[in-house]
Amino acid sequence: MTTIALTKSLAHLKYELENLGYNVLFEDEINSPVDVFIYLYDDQRSLYSTTQKLDSAVSSSYPDHEYHGTLLIDGMGKTIDEIKYIIENRVYSPIF
């Protein structure tokens, strides 16, 4: 099952993502690697602190072959369908 962490400012997505079958938690509940972290670009402090927490969780307890990285998604202005597509395809349009 795909585990998704959300910044608290995107709490409105939690229920919708759970209904799609994802295991969803908030960034302050992370205690092991997650498959996806959805953040808001406007909240760089949240992104930075969460990536530090993820890095620490991975390096302390998971061999490289068991962890394939966390997909970071800027949730600003995205619909649940767009987010679902990104998660399922692990495809995110380039920033530039």
Confidence at residue 46, expressed as pLDDT on a 0 to 100 scale: 62
Instruction: Using the structure block, give the residue that is written with the tokens 């998660």.
Output: 87
Query: How far is Cα 88 from Cα 10, in angstroms, rounded to an integer?
Result: 19
pLDDT tens column, 27-51: 888 888 888 989 887 766 666 566 6
Answer whether residue 64 shows pLDDT above 60.
Answer: no
Looking at residues 48-67, what average pLDDT do you find?
A: 59
The answer to whether the beta carbons of residues 94 and 58 sit under 8 Å apart is no
Query: How far is Cα 55 from Cα 10, in angstroms, rounded to an integer?
Result: 22
